[in-house]
Amino acid sequence: PAQPPGPRAHEECCRAGTRGRRERACSRAAQARGRQAGQQQAARAALLRAAMAAASGAASFPERLAAARAAVEALKTECEEARAKLGPGRVAVAAKAHSATLTGIPRLHARKLLKGHFGKVYALAWAKDSSTLVTASQDGNLIFWDGEHGSKTHAIALQSSWVMTCAFEQSASELVAAGGLDNKCTVYRAAAPGSVEVELKHHEGYLSCCKFADSKTMLTSSGDSTCVLWDVGAGRPTTVFDDHAGDVMTLDVHPTNPSLFVSGSCDCTAKLWDARSGACTMTFAGKEGDINATAFMGNGMAFATGAEEGVGRLFDLRSFGMVNEFSNDVMLTGIAGLAFSKSGRVLFTGCDDNVIYAWDALEDRSSPLQSLEYHQGRVAGVALPPSGQCLAAASWDFDVSIWA
């Protein structure tokens, strides 16, 4: 007669039975989820068909409008679910599929050190000639530099030393603007030190950022939660953008369409605006930290944000969502400045830990390509000239560095 199984054999049989039951349970759960997803999709499709039929066959305009709105909401829900399935990092997947992996970039070094400020340097901007650089410091001065030779050309004494931002007009580089805790943006003649062109007053909070849209208009963002489009010649606001729920810390103008710009706020969102309609056309949500910096890629199809939580994110306007994320365990401090390389492949981030990081914009990686270390204070801003041949950085250690 057959001997009864021993304790070990009995234990193995029990384990095999348990594994089988788990596998069958998982299979049934997966089938149930599949049926539920199919039923939801079928229900949405039916709702969409019903809404479209109602929109085409309804007798009154309000009924057709209500049906059309229901159809749009159904489509929005379907698009959101499709985007959620894709998730971040799909740019990296596409880059690998097309053998577009970046093997490395030449090591950047600090070629010029611009010393002349006696206070924290908060902002900087390049002129159209890619040689002239202007820096704004809380010593109360705008200093103009010859970036090629590293020499100071002249300076403008600001009306308020509490400056937070500056900008260079790019069509002829005849105007510069600056502002800060004085709640206004002051426009100066670049070639005539001390010559005030116009003062732009409307904001009820500090001026956090300013950018020229063209030679006649400019944009400003403020701690009063608004952005304003200005007629520089008339010295008056033309449009106020007020959809943000927190301080607006940054903005950037679209590189090919000056009617579009993106803003970042302490409400943890970035918004794309159309100056022609005065409306927000897209909203991109971050996670937890304030958005301190924004920068468009050169082709205008995507932009990056830098957050107080130390995370950079890449958003694509065509997919209406985040396509990549940049962070590591070392960079635990906030991002204060952003700049793309000429090609858009490399993203530079200036951080509160005194370091500039270079990231591959198309690769999903947890470490930067390079870490540029020189400054002894927060890197408050980074900028590339139109030529893209170097990188300038402004720091709270009173110095400005040029890397190449």
- Confidence band for 62, pLDDT divided at 50, 70 and 90: confident
Does the pLDDT of residue 326 top 80, yes or no?
yes
Residue 324 has pLDDT above 80, yes or no: yes
Mean pLDDT of 183-193: 90
Decide if pLDDT at 157 tops 70: yes
Among 70-79, 89-98, 136-145, the minimum mean pLDDT is found in 89-98
Average pLDDT over residues 125-137: 96
Q: Which of 39-48, 84-93, 338-347, 395-404 has the lowest mean pLDDT?
A: 84-93
pLDDT at 8: 56
Would you state the pLDDT for residue 2?
47
Predicted local confidence at residue 217, as pLDDT:
95
pLDDT class for 85, splitting at 50, 70, 90?
low
- Of 70-79, 92-101, 147-156, 205-214, the range with the lowest mean pLDDT is 92-101
Task: Give the pLDDT band of residue 152 (cuts 50, 70, 90).
Answer: very high
pLDDT, mean of residues 189-203: 88
What phi and psi, each to the nearest 5 degrees, are found at residue 319? -95, -5
Q: What is the mean pLDDT of residues 339-368?
A: 91
Residue 332 has pLDDT above 90, yes or no: no
Asked if residue 76 has pLDDT above 90, the reply is no
Lowest mean pLDDT among 100-109, 119-128, 253-262, 365-374: 100-109
Per-residue pLDDT, averaged over 54-71, amounts to: 74
Please indicate whether residue 104 or residue 301 has the higher confidence score (pLDDT): 301
pLDDT bin (cut points 50, 70, 90) of residue 7 is low
- The answer, yes or no, to whether residue 98 has pLDDT greater than 70, is no
Under the banding of pLDDT at 50, 70 and 90, the label for residue 185 is very high
Q: Is the pLDDT of residue 58 over 70?
A: no
Residue 190 in this model has a pLDDT that exceeds 80: yes
Residue 123 has pLDDT above 60, yes or no: yes
Burial classification of residue 357, based on how many CB atoms lie within 10 Å of its CB (0-12 exposed, 13-18 middle, 19 or more buried)? buried
Stretch 96-114: mean pLDDT, rounded? 76
pLDDT of 184 higher than 90:
yes
The pLDDT tens digits for 209-241 are 999 999 899 999 999 999 999 999 999 999 999
Counting residues of the chain whose pLDDT is more than 90, the rounded percentage is 62
pLDDT of residue 109: 95
Of 204-208, 308-312, 364-368, 385-389, the least confident: 364-368
Residue 68: pLDDT band (50, 70, 90) is confident
Residue 93 has pLDDT above 90, yes or no: no
